[in-house]
Structure 1
Amino acid sequence: MHDILNYSLADFFFNDNKNVLKPPSDFTEWMSDPRVQHGYSFFEQQLLAAPKVSTEILSNLDNKKRSIINLTSYNYLGLSTHPEVIQAAKEGLDQYGLGASGAPLLSGTFDLHVKFARMLADFKQKEDCILYSSGFGGNVGAIQGLMRKGDVLILDEKCHKSLIDGGTLAQTKMLFFDHNDVNSLALMLEKSKDKRVMVVVEGVYSMDGDLVDLPNIVKVCQEYDAPIYIDEAHSTLMFGENGRGVAEHFDLEEEVGISFGTLSKSFGGVGGFICSNADTIRYLKGYSSPWNFSCAPSPPVVAGLIKALEVATRDSSLRDRLWSNTAYLKKHLLDMKLDLGKTESQVIPIIIGPSGEKLMGFAEQMQKRGLFLQPVDFPAVPAHARRFRMSVSSQLTQEEMDRTLNIIEDVVVKGLRS
């Protein structure tokens, strides 16, 4: 295989081996190359403590334990390790045990699930809520539960894989409009005006950190009477006056038919949820396979999540600190002339360009200096825009931010100039 570094996972999706348990031979050859193995060594590295900003990993680069500043985890508000949240989870563990031991429909619904779903519905100002054991499963399950063969799902081209997989499972026709381009969206809606349709967007796009152009998307959708599904995975508890998300930020919550959220990011736990009108939630409980056929969320985790919602919404201090930290880092990164794309959120891409070798080289140097900032390579992002994705946390101290900036300047800024 020539020019092995020009290949990626995108090149080995189809497998022509008769035995499905044998990957393509060229994939095996590619993965065995030491340069590819080195690139993959950045992934699946073991965290040895809680996902705080300052934590410890067992590095795959040299098999050494290393203290690091963690700017890759999604613990945006620090709720995963908040003392009140931890205590609530411990009490939930003592009372309920480790797992739900049943699907929600039969034996897996606990009083905690009912309480938390009601709290989330009230928080999102929707009639009802359904809980899922994973965020990915929530998106898949909602799309699969609502859409049918012959329907049309119209998605922003940068939507998450879980939304696409939901459409695939539903056997619906999927159309993708150019990112945040309302003219492109209008063309898709016009093409599908005789079909049942749903438009899917994200509040914050996870690889770029920019916001959905919700005001203009709402206008176009209203013209075609098309319902909107918004994935607020990276925006719930952070955007809007009350932290309800980007829909609240734009004062357009009533125009959004379905609001999805994950519980693994700003909430600090695991799971997902859908808030909508009561009839839609009741319908989903009949047809959403990840709800019907998965074990319900772990009760002690739900106990912690209940407390996390209380802590995050009793005042604005956590998100105020998050936005202060985000502004500080963004200002200094821009002063270094780094390409941050069009980020408007706590997700800050540092775009390196087309060189995968530079991306991995910078990642290794930064990790050995104590900064855990993971590389994001093609096909997760375009090949010409390989990047690091910084996840800002409210937990960051001034000292940690300044140390981070110094490492980035020494490694990335100087490396891009050379």
Structure 2
Amino acid sequence: MSHTAAPVPVFQLMADELAERQASSLYRNRRVIDSPQGARVQLNGREVLNFCSNDYLGLANHPAIVAAAQQGAAEWGVGSGAAHLVTGHFTPQHTLEERLAALSGKPAAILVSTGFMANLAVIPALLGRGDAVFADKLNHASLNDACQLARADFKRFAHNDVAQLERLLSESTSKRKLIAVDAVFSMDGDIAPLAEMLALAEKYDALLYIDDAHGFGVLGDGRGTLAELGIDSPRIIYMATLGKGAGVAGAYIAAEQVVIDYLINTARAYIYTTAAPPLLACALHASLDIIEQDVERRARLQRHIATFRAALADAPCELLPSSTAIQPIIVKDNATALALSQALLDADILVAAIRPPTVPTPRLRVTLSAAHSDADVKLLCREIRRVLAAQG
């Protein structure tokens, strides 16, 4: 017997909130891509130049990595079947952890399914009530969520403000203290003052947790931001994702052996989840081979960054001081960000409009890749200047 269901009030509340988001140019939609990741992708039946991807080295569809994944699937299957602590920890994963630890200059490492999960694993495992965590206000949402989940005293300091961080540390009476920060900020593209933060960690007996999602594979000859800056300490707990510069998926945490052992025993987001398929570890071994050997990819990316910044230095827009593949263009409001993104898409160029609450100020977020050609980047710059001029 059928009947008409009564309206559910909570659904109307959701609908009202979504309508408010649409009115404020804050509504989010997904794009469906009909091709592998690359400098060019198929979108709605046409080819567009892709300046949205975090595939900084152009490895996401590299034939050697694809072949390694295929061979990994043939040898190890497509599912891990269990958590790492049960029967889900395979030889290619174990050897990958050893390789990533060595690459990061740390005694040990563990793999985690995503960078978001890595942050949720580490911070709540290391901190609890009565402890304190100190975080940059522009940290990634996953770091913020992890800090809140830890139930520690959560102190935020202004972006890259080392003086404020020191004041907060000096005022803290917590027994355990941790500084949590992005290495490369995902929406501004700048690099945290990690050497100064490490000095404060040493001074105030704190740990330093570094999320290097956007530096690994790209900076420091591929070893990441710590290598780029030439810093190291047992106090550093290092996390990097493997779906951006490395082109595959997942993340890893590298630290002192006692820290990794502690996380294996206490980190809920690591313990209570099915491990990633071992075929991904096979693909990542191939990715690391390319990262270590193909230095031209990083050199080409650096040329693209220099070209982009030089071409738009006198354009009627605000560039942020980024030396990385992330190049934001600040605009006056959400509607302008959407209009500029759509104007570029009309010219077959895909650039994301990023709006609050993801960022405090609306912007276009251009991401450059070694997969782009010099001509691609020059075309992007010409079209950005054109659409900016048309917007007035």
TM over 0.5: yes
Residue 170 of structure 1 pairs with residue 157 of structure 2: no
Deviation at 1:237, TM superposition (A): 1.3
Range moving further from structure 2, 86-95 or 404-413: 404-413
Once the two structures are superposed, the pairs formed by residues 15-164 of structure 1 within 5 Å of their partners are 22-23=10-11, 25=13, 27-32=14-19, 35-36=22-23, 40=27, 43-58=29-44, 65-164=45-144
| Cα distance change of structure 1 residues 197 and 118 upon mapping to structure 2, 3 Å threshold | same
1:356 to 334, 337, 351: 334
Range moving further from structure 2, 387-396 or 222-231: 222-231
How many percent of aligned residue pairs carry the same amino acid? 27
Query: What is aligned with 1:305?
Result: 284
1:146 and 1:244 map into 2 onto residues whose CA distance is: 25
| Cα distance change of structure 1 residues 290 and 184 upon mapping to structure 2, 3 Å threshold | same
1:245 to 202, 224, 230: 224
The answer to whether the Cα contact below 8 Å between 1:338 and 1:413 also exists between their aligned partners in 2 is no
1:270 and 1:358 map into 2 onto residues whose CA distance is: 33
Query: What is aligned with 1:365?
Result: 343
| Cα distance change of structure 1 residues 362 and 83 upon mapping to structure 2, 3 Å threshold | same
The answer to whether the Cα contact below 8 Å between 2:39 and 2:49 also exists between their aligned partners in 1 is yes
Letter aligned with residue 262 of structure 2: Y
* Structure 1 residue ranges (4+ consecutive) displaced by more than 4 angstroms after TM superposition: 33-39
Query: What is aligned with 2:322?
Result: 343
1:172 and 1:34 map into 2 onto residues whose CA distance is: 32
The answer to whether the Cα contact below 8 Å between 1:31 and 1:37 also exists between their aligned partners in 2 is no
2:377 to 381, 396, 401: 401
Query: What is aligned with 1:261?
Result: 240
Residue 334 of structure 1 pairs with residue 322 of structure 2: no
1:104 and 1:315 map into 2 onto residues whose CA distance is: 32
| Cα distance change of structure 1 residues 236 and 34 upon mapping to structure 2, 3 Å threshold | closer
2:273 and 2:250 map into 1 onto residues whose CA distance is: 12
Residue 390 of structure 1 pairs with residue 366 of structure 2: yes
The answer to whether the Cα contact below 8 Å between 1:128 and 1:278 also exists between their aligned partners in 2 is yes
| Cα distance change of structure 1 residues 283 and 255 upon mapping to structure 2, 3 Å threshold | closer
1:312-341 Cα shifts (integer Å, max 9, x gaps) = 012422111111111111211223242111
TM-score if structure 2 supplies the norm length?
0.94
The answer to whether the Cα contact below 8 Å between 1:39 and 1:360 also exists between their aligned partners in 2 is no
The answer to whether the Cα contact below 8 Å between 1:329 and 1:405 also exists between their aligned partners in 2 is yes
Letter aligned with residue 283 of structure 2: G
Deviation at 1:252, TM superposition (A): 0.8
Q: CA RMSD in A?
A: 2.0
Letter aligned with residue 49 of structure 1: S
What SS does the aligned partner of 1:105 have?
coil
| Cα distance change of structure 1 residues 229 and 105 upon mapping to structure 2, 3 Å threshold | same
Query: What is aligned with 2:202?
Result: 222
TM-score if structure 1 supplies the norm length?
0.88
2:8 and 2:112 map into 1 onto residues whose CA distance is: 31
Range moving further from structure 2, 121-130 or 288-297: 288-297
| Cα distance change of structure 1 residues 336 and 255 upon mapping to structure 2, 3 Å threshold | farther
In the alignment of these two chains, the number of paired residues is: 386
1:316 and 1:204 map into 2 onto residues whose CA distance is: 20
| Cα distance change of structure 1 residues 101 and 194 upon mapping to structure 2, 3 Å threshold | closer
| Cα distance change of structure 1 residues 184 and 236 upon mapping to structure 2, 3 Å threshold | same
Deviation at 1:37, TM superposition (A): 9.8
1:163-210 Cα shifts (integer Å, max 9, x gaps) = 121122221111011111111001110121443100111111111011
The answer to whether the Cα contact below 8 Å between 1:228 and 1:255 also exists between their aligned partners in 2 is no
- Which stretches in structure 2 are left out of the alignment for 5+ residues? 1-6
What SS does the aligned partner of 2:369 have?
coil
1:117 and 1:86 map into 2 onto residues whose CA distance is: 20
| Cα distance change of structure 1 residues 21 and 88 upon mapping to structure 2, 3 Å threshold | farther
